[in-house]
Structure 1
Amino acid sequence: MFDYLLNNEQITLRDQARDFVKSIPRKMILDMDADKIQFPREFLQEAGRLNLMGCRYPEKWGGRGMDWVSTCMVMEEIGVLGYIFACTFGVGAELVCDAIILHGTDDQKERYVKPLLKGEIFAAECLTEPRGGSDFFGTTTTARDMGDHFLLNGQKRFIVGGEGADYFLVYARTDTDVEPRNGISCFIVDRQEGVETQYLYGLMGCRGGGAARMVFKDVKVPRYNLVGELNQGVKIFNTMMIPERLGTAAMTIGAAAPAVDVATGYTSKRKAFGKPVAAFQGVSFQVAEAVTLLDAARAMIYTTARAVDGKIYEKKIRRLVSQSKKFVTESCQKAVHNAMQVMGGIGYTNIYPVERIFRDLRLASIWTGTNEVMSMIIANEWYKEYWLKKKSGKIRNMDEDAAEAHAVDEKIFE
């Protein structure tokens, strides 16, 4: 943690989060990984009791009135327990609540945000469908306008908290006669008749979070549970990409750090050829690379968090958040890879937690938008930004800084 980037209030919150993380019993971590626990209710209830969730939201709705830097710090600390702890912590408090805080009514905030942040109820976000993941606008779930309510039908899958959530944030087509971008709406859907958890996935890692396929069959959703405007779900989706991806990146650092910690201790004590293996550069340099990657990831996270807090223009934030998600998740995966490598065979067993962390973090570059999608966004926004800077005339024309820059006949583009 970069303590010097935090103020006293944030350091106090960090210490509270650390105390909470230390209090979680080892058995809960093991039982979740073994799928003996399908959803960590007690964990979320205690986090709510300690007022650790949604710290950037107004106190009026159960938050602490803090900022994105504070949120990233908390997400990193929670991630130390394991990636799935941070996933379940973040899905409700940082994704679902974010949509309602930014776009919902006061009544919705009173009924759904406040009790969730207290740990009294739980929520899940429903984006991915069986026919596609990153293709958000290809949703086939529909909500037919019946006047005072909507009739919801469709399926969502890979829903973290599908087993355990009391309500769901669901995107559905409400106008099939227009471009999908202009015909999707967002709803708060209570667990009720017609809401079915049909299948729990057997995951490689990140177990115990209740990842499920959800089926909605003629579910009556009251009109007052429409979030934002009708057919304007894209506005909510766009703002949610910040907590989706920046939060994911921050918690990945916390989840990766224990592997590097374990590997550092192990290589300091494990001896070969008469001395600790850390004395060999083939080992210590891999640990050094892992530490450097984690610190570089933190630097990117806190820089991006401050940019979001500063509300710089939307397209720049979109690029920075996407870069953070891609760079941080891949850097953390590499750091855990190094940790396992320097520990040798023992790192591949469940004698140490590195193998679990390795399995868990494979999800990081897949969910909340694959890293390939992040690259598409980064490239798209960067090229736009480049030409805007060129057209502004406010920066040096670097093309001219070459000895033969005048050889225009050699500059052939078609």
Structure 2
Amino acid sequence: MSHDASGFAPDHPETVFTYGAPGLKLGVGARHELGHDLAVLGARRVLLVTDPGVAATGAPAEIAERVGRDGIDVVTFDRSRVEPTDASLLEAISFARENGPFDAVLAVGGGSSIDTAKAVDLMLTNDGELMDYVNAPVGGGRAPANPLLPLVAVPTTTGTGSESTTICVLDVVSQHVKTGISHPRLRPTLAVVDPELTLTQPANVTAASGLDILCHALESYTARPYASYEAKTADQRVPYCGSNPISDVWSERALALMATSFRRAVTHGGDLEARTQVATAATFAGLGFGNAGVHIPHANAYPIAGQVREFRPDHYPADDGASGHAGLVPHGMAVSLTAPAAFRFTFDAAPDRHVRAARLLDPDAVMTDDPADLLPQVLTAVMRDVGIPAGLAAVGFGAADLDPLVEGAMKQQRLLATAPREVTEDDVAGILDASLELW
């Protein structure tokens, strides 16, 4: 399905797109084979990275014990921070340097643990400072010169898709902004997705992370098409190349899976079939957006998460003071809060795709008088059903906060460049304003 009116007319259109993915092992019980998987990668001494909440479930200890049976020495770092900061990543890096060397890194946890493991792996194998590698203009935007150690990612939440992607997300506290490190070498070597590990995920965590899945799929599906860019040389190619025929397949399938399983996984957390479908959708969406890219909702999410003051949902860690503010808006929730307005804004660039995405997510959706409202209405209905707050005002933002939020979003040019139409400060301000109250 082609984009209808992207608004981009390059003099020399791109004719090449790229696609990358980790090795993948998916299914109930997949975690029990990690010893074999690591041995195949040549690992004899492994750093296991997790966070206190996941460690408390006993899963990382169980995995370490099973891996140890295969003759592999495991050293565990269990202090990954939910929503990592530059300081928390530096703590993990310091631990790894003091306790190394290692042959591989094993991440067990949500996107925060996997992203922490990516940063550790990067800095164990490359010189310089962490901020050298953070995306410009927040950091230096430097590319790693050396290959990384094998990284095996074992997600225990369903949402981030970090097990599939080249992205490490962090909160740079001094600048009050979330940003990332992006390079193909950060992509895990192997993703081991075991749905049983997600059965203990609380309902509101499932809801927030599930909205991240939906936005990954929707944003990559509606992203600027790869052929709308100027042609690049091999050394100019980046992981986010725009929507393309392969990423489209993963995004469509992720939306179809979520349509039948997401609400059930939130309301009936012990339903292993629903959990398996959502875990599969998370990985599929990651395989899509990890190549096509994401755009406006994710660009807005970073300052929302970075500037929140007091809002903090249940089942998330208490404030540890490391972020510089008491509040926390989980990443998937932050992404979703401006998504309906963002997709209304992008509709004209690709009407057919927006309607198709809405139909995949809700096959029974009734066409509205204005087709641009269909996807926002379908998405808003999902958000209401799974208990997402009713807009930016519900997490503590008001009209007076829009200017700093716009400033933070405009720093995410790597993401905004993937939007299917040009995005100005006024456009972002309008999207944020329309997102203060969604219903």
TM-score norm. by structure 2 comes to 0.25
- Which has a greater percent of helix? 1
TM-score, normalisation: structure 1: 0.26
Please say which structure displays the higher CA radius of gyration.
1
Greater relative contact order (Cα < 8 A, sep 6+): 2
